[in-house]
Homo-oligomer: A and B are copies of this chain.
Amino acid sequence: MSFCLISSDCHAGADGASYRSYVDPPYRERFDEYLQLASMMGKKQGAEELEGAEASLWDMGTRVKYLDAERVVAEVIFPQPGGPSGPPFYMAGHSYDVADQELTAAGTRAYNRWLADFVSSAPEPARHLGVAQITQYHDVDAAVAEVRWAREAGLTGGILLRSQPEGDLPGFNDLRYEPLWAVCEELDMPIHTHGGEVTLNGGLAESFMRPGGPAIFFTEVTWFGHRPLWYLLWSGVLDRHPNLKLVFTEQFADWVPDVLWRMDSIHERFGAFLEPKLELRPSEYWYRQCFVGSSLMSRRETDRRHEIGVENIMWGTDFPHDEGTFPESNRKLHEALDGLPEDELALILGGNAARVYGIDLDRLAPVAADLTIDDDFFAGGDDDR
C-alpha cells in the first residue's frame, strides 16, 4: 500500500506591506498605522533554523519546495496567526479594534483576496486549499456574500470561524447566524476553528499579561476552539444541515472522547426536554460531520483514535511553524503513527482530508507521483525506530 500525505494544517500570509493594495482604500491609512505596530510586535513567522521558511508564507516557489521536501501532496491553508503576515487588523489573537467591526471585516477581505491570488499563482492551484477568514458576524448578509466570493475565487478549503463572536454579539447558537451555516453547506465549505485564538469575552487576553499568563493561555486556549462544537450541535445546526462539516484544527484531539461522552450523557438524560430536539445522539453527529485537523499529533491521540473516529482524524504539519512537525514531518510520522493498520494510516494521512475537502486526486496524480510514501515507510509495530 502507498500513502498520499495531505496536511490539514498549514499557514500563509503576505509579506506585511503587500496587503496594502488588497485593503479597500478607505482603510489604508489605518492599515499603515496597524502595520507599524504589528511589525514591532511581530514574532518570528516560520521555523527559525531554516533558511527561507518565513518566506514560504508568501513566496510560492519556496513553499512548493518545502511541501515537496516533506512529501506533502496537498495542504489546507490557514492565516498566519499574527504579526505583519497575519490578516490585517487582527493582533494578539483578537481584532485590532474590537469596536470597529467594519475595520475588522476590511482586514478579512484583504487577507482573503491576497490568499486567492497566492493560491492561483501556484503551479498547481488544486494542491493548495485556502481557508477564507470570516469575521462579519455583525452583518450576516456580508458574511454570506464573503463565503460565496471565496468559493468563486478558488478558496475551496472552507471558512475559518472565530471561536465566538466578539463584542456584544450573541453566541453561535443564536438563529441570526443560520444563513451562514446554510451557505457553507450549500457550497460544501467546511467550517473551521483553529487553536490559538484569544477571545476577549472569555477573559483570556486580559489574564495574559499577569503572572502565569502565558501558561494559563496554553492550558485553556484550545478549549475556546472546541466551543463552537456544542454551540452548533445543541442548537441543531448539524441536524438541520447534515452535509455541513466542522473541522477543529491545531487544538489537539485527546479531548474528543470525553466531550462526546458528556454530550451523549446529557442527551440521554435530558434529550426529551431540550429544544431543539435532536434526531441523533451528539456522538453520531460528530462521526458524521466533525473532524480534527490534528497537527502536533501525539501517541496519546493515536491511542484514542477509535473513540475520536479513525475517519475523523486528519494529519497535519503546521507548516511553516516550528511548533508543528515541520521540517521533520516524515520522522515525526513514525513517532505518532508507527504500528497502525495500513487502512487506518491511509485515512489519517490523507484519505480523510481528500474526502472532507473534495480534493481532486486524479488531477493531483502528477504531483503525487513523486511524493507518495511506500508501504515500507511504516514499521509493523516493533520496528527499528
Contact = CB atoms under 8 A, between A and B. Distances in A.
B202 A215 contact: no
Contact of A215 (B211, B234, B254): B234
Q: What is the interface residue range for chain A against chain B?
A: 35 or more
B231 A266 contact: no
A287 interface: no
B262 A173 contact: no
**Copies of this chain, whole number:** 2
Interface in A186-210: 201-203, 206-207, 210
Interface of A is mostly: helix
A12 B174 CA distance: 36
Interface string A239-276: 00000000000000011001101110011001001111
A213 B173 CA distance: 8
A46 to B, nearest CB: 19
Contacts of A218: 266, 270
Interface stretch (A150-158, A219-227, A340-348, A365-373): A219-227
B206 A171 contact: yes
B275 A219 contact: no
A164 interface: yes
A219 B261 CA distance: 10
Interface in A172-193: 173-175
Contacts of A255: 258
A357 interface: no
Contacts of A300: 261
A213 B175 CA distance: 12
A216 interface: yes
A258 B259 CA distance: 12
A276 B206 contact: no
Nearest to A224: B202
A214 interface: yes
Contacts of A270: 214-215, 218
A201 B202 CA distance: 6
A219 B230 contact: yes
B258 A216 contact: no
A330 interface: no
Contacts of A358: none
A175 B213 CA distance: 12
6 contacts: A170-B207, A171-B203, A173-B207, A173-B212, A215-B266, A215-B270
Given A170-B206, A171-B216, A258-B258, 7 more contacts: A171-B203, A175-B210, A202-B203, A211-B276, A212-B230, A212-B235, A214-B270
